[in-house]
Structure formats: structure tokens, C-alpha cells
Structure 1
Amino acid sequence: MAGRTEYYGDPAAPAANSLVPASNLLVQNEDGAILLQRRRDTGQWALPGGKQDIGESAADCAVRECEEETGIKAEITGFLGVYSNPAHVVVYSSNGEARQQFEVVYIGRPVGGAPTINDEADGVLWVRPGDLDDYDIHPSMRQQIGHYLSGQYPYLG
């Protein structure tokens, strides 16, 4: 998998040269635990999500990415927000792309499947909110989870 470096509020970050729509899905189960995946390219825990394909809606993208990255089938139950922080730049070493963050984030619940690792995620877990500090979670993901847990949504930033 290509190398990926995330810059978050870093003045030394390269200038973004692309903006790609992406969708995330914050899935919470009946026990209150949140679905996280550990990204193989950064080693950090994250909500499932990824780049929207031509011909699909942002909501369909969130559901597809969740199942592809975690093995969990989910349905959307709400809208968390739009996260488009120009100070969050993701650089891909394979092609020199420097992507500005742009994520539409939905809220969902599981309807099937089982946590499954794959070529994008080497770990998939249900994490209770009180245990989140035990995991290396990127600040942008912590922001999204924090908005959800505090009820501060929809976020339109």
C-alpha cells in the first residue's frame, strides 16, 4: 500500500493540490461501542470511510466503505457533519498528491457482518467511548467522534 502522511495544523505541510470528496460512517452498536479500524498506511485508528466513486451518493459511499474496511454492514441513521479543514492535508508518496480534507460524515448502526481485517485495515474493533484514549486516533477523527458524543452536530466546517 502506498505511503500516506497526514499533516494537521502543521505550518510545514505541503500545499494541497487536490480536493476529493470522501465519506465516513460513525457506527455505534447497541452496547454504545464505536466501530474503529486501524489503517495499515498510518497505523492509526479511524472511522471507516474513503473516497466517493463517480456514480454513487455520499451516503452510499459511507455504507460501502464501512463494509469494505471493517466487514460490518451498517445503515445510516443520521448526519454528523461536513469536515473540510484546509489545515488537514494528506500526502500520498506514490503519486505526490497532497489532498485537503473533505469528508461528509454520517451516523449509523450495524445490521450485519463481523469485524474483519483486510488490505486496508489490520485491526477492527468496537471501542467503548470511555476507552477511546487507549487508542492512537488521528485528531480529525477524535474531533468527529467528540462532536458525536457531545451532541454537537450537525457540524458544518
Structure 2
Amino acid sequence: MGRTEYLNDPAAPKANTLIPASNLLVVNYAGEILLQRRRDTGQWALPGGAQDIGETAGQCAVRECQEETGILAELTGFLGIYTNPKHIVAYTDGEIRQQYENTYIGRPLSGTPTVNDEADGVRWVHPADLNDLDIHPSMRQQIGDYLAGTYPYLG
């Protein structure tokens, strides 16, 4: 399923869903951040996705990280709640979602970065190399908040 993201775009379609999602910003011993390159947009992003019924937001973040990157991680902190009615994600199936993401901080326990159906690239990225990557502004905000130590973000 393809998707198009809109941020502060007056031409964005009107949202028809609001679904809680969780991201996990995983930092390894070298201070590198785990990122995946999304197959549907080609942009680098934190692992994350929609929360399933029966799981907590934190469990969702851990599950999505392992599914999308091959890395099993544990939660070590909370970065913030990112909810922006001007950040719209339109899917090819007709769903038009308003952003709502709980973003956690974690550390790796096991696994190797592995590509999959959702990510055609998975790797550890040193913060100095982030500007070399195509990263959506919403992800840049979350990573930037972490690097600046300005969390928890509740906006």
C-alpha cells in the first residue's frame, strides 16, 4: 500500500481516521540511531506503526521495531506524543490519517538490521550523517528533539 505525506499543505486531503501509532528511537552503544528506509515513500524513518488492540503503546513500539528492522529493543524512555492535525498521511486504499504518534526511546537487545516488506534499507546512522538522508520533517523533529534533549514533547 502506497502513501503520500502532507505537512502544513493547504491542498492536503481531509483526514478520515485517527489511529494511535508508536515509534521507537533506538540508540546503540556508539550513539547511532536505528533508521529504516520505507518502501512506500523512500524516506528514512524511525521504526513504528499502528497500535494493535490488546497491546500497550510501548509494546507496539517494540513489536514494530522488531518487525520493521530485525532489531529487538527494550524501552528506556519516552520521547513524546507527536500529534499534528496539519500532518496528513494519505494511503492508496482511501484511508487519510491524521498524525498521532507516541515515540519511545530504546536500546538494542539483539538482532541484525534486516530489510523486509516494509523497509528496503535498515541501518545505524551516526547523528552527524543524518543530514545526508531524505528524512520526513516529522521524523526530523522527533530525532532533533531527542538529540537536543528537549523531551518529553507533548504537542
TM-score interval (norm. to shorter): over 0.9
Work out the CA distance in 2 between the residues paired with 1:62 and 1:104. 8
SS class of match (1:76): strand
For structure 1, the 5+ residue unaligned runs are none
Shift of 1:55: 0.3
Report deviation, 1:93.
1.1
Tell me the TM-score normalized by structure 1: 0.98
Alpha-carbon distance between aligned partners in 2 of 1:80 and 1:66, rounded to the nearest angstrom: 15
Matches of 2:13 and 2:23, distance apart in 1: 24
CA deviations on 1:1-21 (whole Å, 9 max, x unpaired) are x11000011110011110000
Find the aligned partners of 2:153 and 2:2 in 1 and give their Cα distance: 30
CA distance in 1 between counterparts of 2:56 and 2:92 reads 28
3-state SS in 1 of match to 2:131? helix
Q: Identity over aligned residues, as a percent?
A: 74
Question: Could you say what secondary structure the match of 1:153 adopts?
Answer: coil
Distance 1:139 1:118 in 2: 24
1:37 equivalent in alignment to 2:36 = yes
| Structure 2: gaps (5+ residues) | none
Q: Deviations over 1:60-116 (max 9, x none)?
A: 00000000000000000000000000000000012x111000000000000000000
The Cα shift of 1:28 comes to: 0.4
**For residue 68 of structure 1, what is the aligned residue in structure 2?**
67
Superposed CA RMSD in Å reads: 0.4
The number of residues matched between the two structures is: 155
